[in-house]
A and B are shown apart, each in its own frame.
Chain A
Amino acid sequence: MTKPAGPVSGPLRRQLTAHGFLIGAVLCFAFFSWYPMAREFVLAFQKTKDGRTTWAGWSNLSYVFHDPAFWQAWRNTLLFTGLALVLGFAVPFLVAVLLNEFRHGQGYLRLLVYLPVMLPPVASVLLFKYFYDPGYGLFNRILELVHLPAQQWLQSTDTAMISVVIAATWMNMGGATLIYLAALQGIPGELYEAAELDGAGLLRKIWHVTIPQMRLILSLMFLMQIIATMQVFTEPFLLTNGAGPEGSTTTVVYLIYQYAFNFNNYGGAAALGLCLLVLLAGFSAVYVRLSRDSAD
């Protein structure tokens, strides 16, 4: 360790330099992250009427709880998260396992899977809107080709949510697939050889070797997927104008958006946000803990 040259001003000078480097980012965090965070909590317990802001106690929360849209939004969000886990979690994993077996053309296939991630979301979403069109849409033509009944897709309460999930999976699966592929390449080949000596078939090798070896990354991605999909907004907003038929695609974040920007009810929006925050904080805490373990 070298001692700074200046006897007294040294440490102070060093601190000033260190904080000089920090100050820009700290100010940005203070204004656009920490302050809004505090504001979120304050807003949830405030009411603004005729330009006067007063404390509202728990009334914002109880208002939100008594809104029938609140429970529907939670049901929809959980349904979306569940479906997105089935599709958005399983599909990339299976695709990665499949691609990892190929000795040829892996670069091309990876490129394909990642392609949609790079597109502007509006382009992908509007594209899917055309495909879902019950009249001239591509999807109903495909169903017709394989002799299946045509669907109403985004226009029916039964299929609107799954349609949104399919589009979202197409748009976003590339990232997860690449991450799984990278993890798969870290599995030592001897483990598969040992499993084969024990007479394990393909499925047993996946179950007893692949999945346990990828447990950490799988659980991280699982949590990340929950955290991300519970905050879904863009896809349903663009595909079904947010609410969908009879509110069947109204998500919690869309409801926050409606409270704040359609009804000018910032208190309600903040109270709703607080509910989401509490729920997701648990998942986030586990995620941070797990990823810290993985970094060690």
Chain B
Amino acid sequence: MSTRTLISPATLGRTRGKVVYWSVFSLVTVVFTLVFVGPLYWMAVNGLKSTDEFTRIPPTLVPHGVHTDNYTHAWKVMDLARLLRNTLWYAFGALVFQLVLDVAAAYSLSKLRPLFGKAILAMMLATLMIPAAVLVVPQYLTVLDVPVFRRNLLNTPWAIWLPSVTNAFNIFLLKRFFDSIPRELLDAAAIDGASPLRTLRSVVLPISRPILGVVSIFAVVGVWKDFLWPMLTLPDPSKQTLNVGIYSLAQGVPENWLTAALAMACLPTLLIFLVFQRNIMSGLTAGGLKG
């Protein structure tokens, strides 16, 4: 980093400054590691302990007996493979629906100048003013009996996918990005005879990769972390998400198995996070700052 911060470089250069800097730095690094990695360590290790050792006072830092079968039992009893598969399926579907429908809508609103476009955008953005928690009840009633189609979407992935499209924040982010694409670029494509769809595919989307990344992360993380909505709309145990499934089975399994299950539930996102950390963290600040 080139810009200077609160503490001046001169202060940091002095011996006293160096001592203070390094002691604060080491202290913070140790404390943060304990606070943020400690619980994960506890989870992984306590999942390996016997039932007896799990509740021992004082707790053991390193397990005396290693019971890897806690993990296999938890995997089987809680059917984590299915919960994981369900969650991935819902997240993937939500991602596809949001990428296709929200991108198309934002593109139209930004570049194709539809009649009443301004009013439609305003109505979409107005939904941001309604607290999500307030809409849960009427949304649930809608899913039970979708008007016009008279369909009950309970226990179907549609109950997750279709409402996920109504993400006005994503549309806002996408539209603002598309707005910044110069008109001349699109006009050039139009002169070459490209249809709007073709222009979207071969001109707009390739330069929109960063914002598409941000929207994708929001879409997947949204489904991955949601709890109340999937609990209400997917009550069938064979359709549940990881969050809801673990919650509803939590009472019925021994504590060490449950802890093992939690550790396994954390693993996929931790891996994804470690691989894509740069994109995820920069995407978050880009979206959050200007939102």
Chain A residues engaging chain B, CB cutoff 8 angstroms: 1-2, 14-15, 17-19, 21-22, 24-26, 28-29, 31-37, 39-40, 43, 97-105, 108-116, 118-124, 126-127, 130-131, 135-136, 138, 141, 170, 175, 178-179, 181-185, 187-189, 192-193, 196, 202, 205-206, 210, 217, 227, 230-231, 233-234, 237-238, 253, 256-257, 260-261, 266, 269-270, 273-274, 276-277, 280-281, 284-285, 288, 291, 294-295
Contacts and interface: CB of A to CB of B under 8 A. Distances in A.
Contacts of A193: 4, 8
14 contacts: A28-B166, A31-B162, A35-B142, A37-B130, A97-B6, A110-B281, A114-B273, A183-B289, A192-B5, A230-B131, A253-B133, A273-B133, A273-B137, A277-B131
* SS of A interface (majority): helix
A124 to B, nearest CB: 8
Interface residues of B, number: 107
B57 A135 contact: yes
Contacts of A33: 127, 135, 163, 166
Nearest to A183: B289
Given A2-B187, A113-B32, A206 B43 contact: no
Contacts of A18: 108, 112-115, 117, 196
B166 A111 contact: no
Nearest to B188: A2
Contact of B112 (A17, A178, A185, A281): A17
By Cβ-Cβ distance, the 3 closest A-B pairs, closest first, are A18-B114, A25-B105, A18-B112
A112 B115 contact: no
Contact of B123 (A29, A40, A113, A188): A29
A217 B291 CA distance: 10
Contacts of B7: 101, 202
Contact of A2 (B58, B109, B191): B191
Interface in B98-137: 100-102, 104-105, 107-109, 112-115, 117, 120, 123-125, 127-137
B187 A277 contact: no
Contacts of A274: 134
Given A39-B142, A175-B284, A24 B105 contact: yes
B65 to A, nearest CB: 17
Given A24-B100, A119-B270, A178-B288, 18 more contacts: A18-B113, A21-B107, A21-B196, A28-B166, A34-B123, A40-B135, A43-B141, A100-B6, A109-B29, A120-B269, A123-B262, A123-B265, A127-B39, A136-B59, A217-B289, A234-B228, A257-B136, A277-B130
Interface of B: 1, 3-8, 12, 21, 24-25, 28-29, 32-33, 35-37, 39-40, 42-43, 46, 54-59, 100-102, 104-105, 107-109, 112-115, 117, 120, 123-125, 127-143, 146-147, 162-163, 165-166, 171, 176, 187, 190-191, 195-196, 221, 224-225, 227-228, 232, 242-244, 246-247, 250, 255, 258-259, 262, 265-266, 269-270, 272-273, 277, 280-281, 284-285, 288-291
Nearest to B187: A2
A28 B128 contact: no
Contacts of A182: 285, 289
A19 B270 contact: no
Contacts of B21: 103
Contact of B146 (A31, A116, A234): A31
B142 A31 contact: yes
Contacts of A116: 36
Contacts of B225: 120-121
